[in-house]
Chains A and B, each alone.
Chain A
Amino acid sequence: MAVVAGAAALGARSARSHVITFDGVTKRYADGTVAVNDLHLEIPTGEITVLVGPSGCGKTTSLRMVNRMIDASEGKILLDGVDVQTIDPPTLRRGIGYVIQQAGLFPHRKIVDNVATVPYLLGWDKRKARTRAMELLERVGLDAGLAERYPFQLSGGQQQRVGVARALAADPPVLLMDEPFSAVDPVVRADLQDELIRLQNELNKTIVFVTHDIDEAVKLGDRVAVLRVGGTLAQVDDPETMLARPADDFVREFLGGDRGIRRLSFVPADLPLRGDLTVPIDAEVSEAAGAAASSAVSWLAVVDGEGRPRGWVSTEGLPPAGKVADLRLLPYGTFEVNGGSLRSALDAALLAPSGCAIAVDADGKVAGVATREELARATAKVAADGAAQPAPAEQAAQSEQAVPAEGAGRG
């Protein structure tokens, strides 16, 4: 047993390597600006820690002190327990991936050579470095055909992917990312965020990610650190806890009025489902009318032969005869019955004139219908849970929450 326990402890220790520790770090610029003030922060291994806060709160400064692009004025930054100040900057930086907002690709080098920058610096054989670069291009979702192009021939989103590939090329355990997706349009940004989450699931890097966008922070962060202007830490928590229990008014305000809605992303859609509110698409209109009457509802979800949703029908003013298939099908939304969030169920309800959300299983087959009454009840319950501890201002903000679900019902 002792041996096993020892091995486990060893495993735990090596798993905890690549920790970054800010130990009372202060940065005072030459002009007297205090950008970071006595920062204590532990960045755990294998997770994405997001530094978020308004512009000028010292996020970039904090990040750049890790790879010594900026040196701290006071305090220490430890990487695996080693003070970064004791490591020669270029050597330190070759072991840490760094991604910046404008990608910063070398315009005179082909994409493949851009990605291979650090391997070349580390003296890898050219063939090996290029092979590695090609692997990484594929990893970040870029076509191999782009390898021989120059940066100016790529779109902003593609360049940003190359930036990520370049940072990963020498397989560094730590990745620093400074607003890497801020300069691309929202659709591309969402793609890049999803891609990062997917990559991180495979790679388990220790990532420090800087953004001013709270939505991005909540989406990407395993942990979120909110900084306030003056460079002090306001709160560090996992996003769910932070949204539920902001430490103070500054954090609450920064999270914004729709904090409650965001929080619903972390609440599973544990909703009672109705099985009697569906009708097969090949049924007679009279059957639909009967079903609606017996359930006392005016909407039914239409399901096709394979069990997939097709839309909603209104059972008011139905023609006397005919097939359901000939009726006008109205838009619908779905959420996954296992693992879907309350937020996704609410979004699904908002898409439908019935105000109800269709639950589907992993194969996309209809599992039942969540009514708008149930959605409103579940949302109100989350709001009440959240309001249990914090201030009254809080409750007012939260009770507004229930409104969208009911509003959708009227639509």
Chain B
Amino acid sequence: MNWLIEFFTDPANWSGSSGIPVRLLEHLEFSAAALLLSVLIAVPLGLWVGHTGKGALFVVVSANAARALPTLGLLVLIVLLMGVGTTLPVLIPLVALAVPPILVNTYEGIRGVEHDLRDAAYGMGLRGGQVLLRVLVPVALPLILLGVRVAAIQVVATATVAAYVGLGGLGRYIIDGLATKDFPSTIGGAVLVALLALAVQLMFTLLGRMVVSPGVRPAVRERLKAG
């Protein structure tokens, strides 16, 4: 506790290039870039595979394979191959980490929409793309968002590895703290990462309220059914 107070009350930790605001911003930059890239890859692919049923096996197998990749190992390998200096070596393992949960949830969400519903949508005269965008996506949205949220939390937590290869972010407090036996710094960094993960969780809850129809929001359904 004292270490925490020591860390957060030290004015040196609040300013300059190694201050909390700067480190936090760096951390958010890596994370946001990695997440955005992952969403851009995984969501369209998941929608397409879920809707057409093509390449489903490929998706499941490769997603599982990607999950087995050790993030740190991958990072070290990439740095060895590409050298340091850019953020790209950090983005690749983070994207590899974030794509599987988004891809699998998107695919499963679309594929899992009740057959009758799909049937009714076509029967009403919606075209393939309209069925996907107007019916399947809104119905699968809670699952898709869940996938993105899981990915976002993993990315935020794992972006600490950037510090291993000399890049910034909140990982620096942890890595540097361990190296110099500066425990307040290590613990403070870990707490910051945890707080950030909580903030991400909260943000996704709010996002869900905004974009998911109450007709398919599990919590709303339960409450209204009971009441």
List the B side residues contacting A104 at CB < 8 Å: 116-117, 119-121, 123
A245 at the interface (CB under 8 A from B): no
- Residue among A102, A108, A109, A117 with most chain B CB within 10 A: A108
List the B side residues contacting A109 at CB < 8 Å: 213, 215
Expressed in whole angstroms, the minimum distance between the Cβ of B118 and any Cβ of chain A is 9
Contact check, B125 vs A106: say whether CB atoms are below 8 A apart.
no
A108 to B213, CA, bound (A): 5
Of the residues B119, B124, B127, B216, contact of A118 by C-beta under 8 Å: B124
Contact check, B123 vs A118: say whether CB atoms are below 8 A apart.
no
Contact A107 B139, CB 8 Å, known A150-B213, A153-B224: yes
B54 at the interface (CB under 8 A from A): no
Expressed in whole angstroms, the minimum distance between the Cβ of A172 and any Cβ of chain B is 10
Contact check, A69 vs B123: say whether CB atoms are below 8 A apart.
yes
A166 at the interface (CB under 8 A from B): yes
Contact check, B214 vs A150: say whether CB atoms are below 8 A apart.
yes
A90 to B126, CA, bound (A): 6
Expressed in whole angstroms, the minimum distance between the Cβ of A149 and any Cβ of chain B is 9
Contact A108 B116, CB 8 Å, known A91-B125, A93-B123: no
Closest chain B residue to A105, Cβ basis: B120
List the A side residues contacting B119 at CB < 8 Å: 69, 100, 104
Contact A100 B122, CB 8 Å, known A108-B139, A110-B215, A153-B224: no
Expressed in whole angstroms, the minimum distance between the Cβ of A85 and any Cβ of chain B is 17
Chain B at the A interface: mostly helix, strand, loop or mixed?
helix
Chain A interface residue bracket vs B: 20 to 34
A67 at the interface (CB under 8 A from B): yes
How many residues in B have their beta carbons less than 8 Å from beta carbons of A? Answer: 24
Closest chain A residue to B127, Cβ basis: A90
Of the residues B117, B123, B130, contact of A107 by C-beta under 8 Å: B117
* Proximity bits, B151-164, A CB within 8 Å = 1, else 0: 00000000000000
* Proximity bits, A113-157, B CB within 8 Å = 1, else 0: 000011001000000000000000000000000000011110000
B135 at the interface (CB under 8 A from A): yes
A22 at the interface (CB under 8 A from B): no
Contact check, A106 vs B123: say whether CB atoms are below 8 A apart.
no
Expressed in whole angstroms, the minimum distance between the Cβ of B51 and any Cβ of chain A is 16
List the B side residues contacting A91 at CB < 8 Å: 125
B221 at the interface (CB under 8 A from A): yes
List the B side residues contacting A106 at CB < 8 Å: 117, 120-121, 135, 138-139
Closest chain B residue to A109, Cβ basis: B215
* Proximity bits, B128-144, A CB within 8 Å = 1, else 0: 00100001001101000
Contact check, B216 vs A107: say whether CB atoms are below 8 A apart.
yes
Contact check, B215 vs A108: say whether CB atoms are below 8 A apart.
yes
Expressed in whole angstroms, the minimum distance between the Cβ of B209 and any Cβ of chain A is 14
207-227 of chain B: CB within 8 A of chain A: 213-216, 221, 224-225
Closest chain B residue to A120, Cβ basis: B134
Expressed in whole angstroms, the minimum distance between the Cβ of A34 and any Cβ of chain B is 22
Closest chain A residue to B130, Cβ basis: A121
Contact check, A69 vs B215: say whether CB atoms are below 8 A apart.
no
A152 to B219, CA, bound (A): 13
A106 to B215, CA, bound (A): 9
A312 at the interface (CB under 8 A from B): no
Q: Which residues of A contact B (CB under 8 A)?
A: 67, 69, 89-95, 98, 100-110, 117-118, 121, 150-153, 166
Q: Which residues of B contact A (CB under 8 A)?
A: 114, 116-117, 119-127, 130, 135, 138-139, 141, 213-216, 221, 224-225
A-B residue pairs in contact (CB < 8 Å), sample of 9: A90-B126, A93-B122, A93-B123, A94-B125, A102-B116, A105-B120, A108-B138, A118-B125, A121-B126
Q: Add 17 more A-B contacts to A104-B117, A108-B213, A109-B215 (CB < 8 A).
A: A89-B125, A91-B125, A93-B125, A94-B124, A95-B125, A98-B123, A104-B116, A104-B119, A106-B120, A107-B117, A108-B139, A108-B141, A110-B215, A150-B213, A150-B214, A150-B215, A153-B224
